Amino acid sequence: MVAPLRVGIAGLGTVGAEVVRIIEQQSRTWSVRCGRGVRVVAVTARSRTKKRGIDLRGIDWARNPLAIASDPGVDCFVELMGGAGDPALSAIEAALKSGKSVVTANKALIARHGLRLAKIAEKHGGALNYEAAVGAAIPIVKTLREGLAGTDIDRVYGILNGTCNYILTRMEQEGLSFAECLKDAQRLGYAESNPSFDVDGHDTAQKLAILASLAFGTKVAQSAVYVEGISSIAPEDLRAAAELGYRVKLLGVAVRTKTGIEQRVHPTMVPRSSSIAQVMGVTNAVTIDGVGLSPITLVGPGAGGTATASAVLADIADVARGIHVKPFGRPVAKLRVTRKAPMERHEGGYYIRLMARDLTGTAATIATRLAERKISIESIVQRHPDGSSDTVRANGKSSPVPVILITYATSEDAVRGALQAVQRDKVITGRPQLIRIEKN
């Protein structure tokens, strides 16, 4: 009879407590599913007296994470503390160097130190599993690393932050401002008191850097990701998107181009008919485009105790089964260096909203500047004070009028150059709104 896998857990927050509860609750089924049992033998957390709703009798309480990581009575070290540095980093390193397998939900640590940890795992023979670090319950890491190991990936993109998707959903459905929705998200616990990491796109960037490595065989490099947040999005942009057949989402996009791998995070207009456009609220989704493969979209809860715990448990189950794969699908020595692709080279369609001065020649000036950059316009719409729309006219009300342009595929450099010229011409007020369009 095979001995049970002995698990030590550092961190007993919502996720850690749920992992302990489920392992204990389903103890009889682990041997059937994995060929051996799984048993939690040691835990540690900042507070030993905190009530967590779980029974820790019979489980050793370690003095610190490093004690579990170096304990010869532990086979698998589970890190659920968070943070890109110590104590998580040193504890994981110690566990891997002792030949243990490691399971973590720590996206910040994998994005910053994943390659270093993967080298240690390769050298000492343990697994480094981190499914819960990206998309929680969505099995995107396993899909890219194992399920599609024989497929060349062209593009991977998705909604990777539930806070931003919740805010954009409320803004669209209720016509609320960004500030109003953010305040409500904080009240409900979907956003932190300091929400910048989420709403400025950095959380998504960390996850995208990991996905890009898995999809394209590149070294994880968050610094290679272009990042924009959602704070500039206004209700009028969402209304215009709906009328034009689009929906606005904060997407992380990694795509193979002629000049290398482009990685970007920014508000994006996606066709309302696309799978990704149907994902609302705090839900996450990832779409994969592969050679000879119809797009695959994985949808599910991207956060929460139960959702994250399910991914952690799946990684533990793989360790129990003896499944060890390279942390990034390839040996670290075979991963290629990737550099930040200049957004000026990005090519695609664009939504542009301008506040045009109601002066004779305004429309002609805008059209001329776009033509000078060889930008073709799919549509031009002028918003009137009564909410109606029409083709742009050169005269009318004296106050600035919103003008919406949709371009055919062009370069970012061309669009930005044209808009700078329009601003110099002083035929618009304020700053132009620019949202990229991502086709199916």
Other residues' Cβ atoms within 10 Å of the Cβ of residue 203: 23
Between CA 163 and CA 185 the distance in angstroms is: 7
Domain layout of the chain by residue ranges: 5-133, 144-300, 345-437
3-state secondary structure labels for all residues of 18-83: HHHHHHHHCHHHHHHHHCCCEEEEEEECCCCCCCCCCCCCCCEECCCHHHHHCCCCCCEEEECCCC
Residue 119 and residue 308: Cα distance in Å, rounded? 25
> How many residues comprise the chain?
440
345-393 per-position pLDDT tens digit = 888 999 999 999 888 888 899 999 999 999 999 988 876 555 554 444 4
pLDDT of the residue at 1: 66
pLDDT at 188: 83
Choosing from 100, 142, 207, 249, which is the catalytic residue? 207
What residues in the chain have per-residue pLDDT under 50?
389-397
Q: Decide if 207 is catalytic.
A: yes
> How high is the mean pLDDT of the chain?
92
Q: Token digits for 243?
A: 């009328």
> What pLDDT does residue 395 have?
44
**Distance between first and last Cα of the chain:** 51
How far, in Å, CA of 361 to CA of 350, rounded? 23
User: What pTM, to 2 d.p., does this model score?
Assistant: 0.92
Got the DSSP string for 333-377? GGPBP--PPPGGG-EEEEEEEEEE---TTHHHHHHHHHHHTTPPE
Q: In sequence order, what are the residues at sequence separation of 6 or more whose Cβ sits closer than 8 angstroms to the Cβ of residue 12?
A: 20, 43, 44, 45, 50, 52, 54, 80
Tell me if the domain spanning 144-300 has CATH number 3.30.360.10.
yes
CATH 3.40.50.720, applies to 5-133: yes
Q: What pLDDT score does 63 carry?
A: 93
Superfamily (CATH) of domain 345-437: ACT domain (3.30.70.260)
- Give the model's pLDDT for residue 383: 63
